[in-house]
Amino acid sequence: MRLSTRNQLAGTIVEVSLGTVMATVKVRLDGGDQIVTSSITRDAAVDLGLQQGQPATVFIKSTEVAIGVE
């Protein structure tokens, strides 16, 4: 598969929470303890067969990135 998205982060799915319409998927990034959380449709999560322990790639494409500090 070839994609234009350059921000690709490899990891492992640590949690899949299926709601009525939406799903929340948590992926622990390789090489550390950072977790990225994604909200996708329930149908997409089921169609992809997402399961805990499964390797996955997180694709990030955004027109805005916000930073906050204390």
Here the tokens at position 10 are: 């490899």
Give me the domain span that covers residue 33. 7-60
Question: 50 lies in a domain?
Answer: yes
CATH number of the domain within which 42 lies: 2.40.50.100
Question: 68 lies in a domain?
Answer: no
10-58 tens-digit pLDDT: 999 999 999 999 999 999 999 999 999 999 999 999 999 999 999 999 9
Q: How far is CA 35 from CA 3, 21, 31, in A?
A: 23, 23, 11
Q: What pLDDT does residue 13 have? A: 98
48-57 tens-digit pLDDT: 999 999 999 9
Question: 21 lies in a domain?
Answer: yes
Question: 19 lies in a domain?
Answer: yes
Q: pTM here?
A: 0.86
Between residues 66 and 70, the one the model is more confident about: 70
